[in-house]
Amino acid sequence: MAVTLKWVSGGLEALLGIPLIGGTIIIALAYFPLLVMLIIHIATLIVCKREGKSRVGSIVGIVTNLVAWIPFLGMAMHIITAVILLLSAYQDKKRSSFS
């Protein structure tokens, strides 16, 4: 479950990190996507803690969505968070395949 949540939240963060597209989505929906992503990151954090998976991506995601209203910083943070979450999901999947 944690790996799936990391893939989903990482993909959504990547979408929000795309210049112009991500900003347009966030502004057009009155910053509501940032609240949704914050909730997703908190849920992912809880599941990762319960399953003993890395929580770094979720913590960075929470911080990202708290500062993402700052135009260029938000875009950079979304991209960084997406990379961290997707790499973490890949590593978790790879570890579970060999266990």
How far apart are alpha carbons 21 and 2 in whole angstroms? 27
For residue 33, give every residue at least 6 positions away whose Cβ sits within 8 Å of its Cβ, in sequence order, or none: 16, 25, 26
* Tens of pLDDT, residues 23-80: 999 999 999 999 999 999 999 999 999 999 999 999 999 999 999 999 899 999 999 9
The structural domain count of the chain equals 1
CA nearest neighbour of 82 among 49, 53, 41: 41
How far apart are alpha carbons 31 and 68 in whole angstroms? 9
Binned at pLDDT 50, 70 and 90, residue 93 comes out as confident
On the CB side of 60, CA atoms within 13 Å amount to: 21
Calculate mean pLDDT across residues 82-86: 98
The whole domain housing 14 covers 2-98
Binned at pLDDT 50, 70 and 90, residue 99 comes out as low
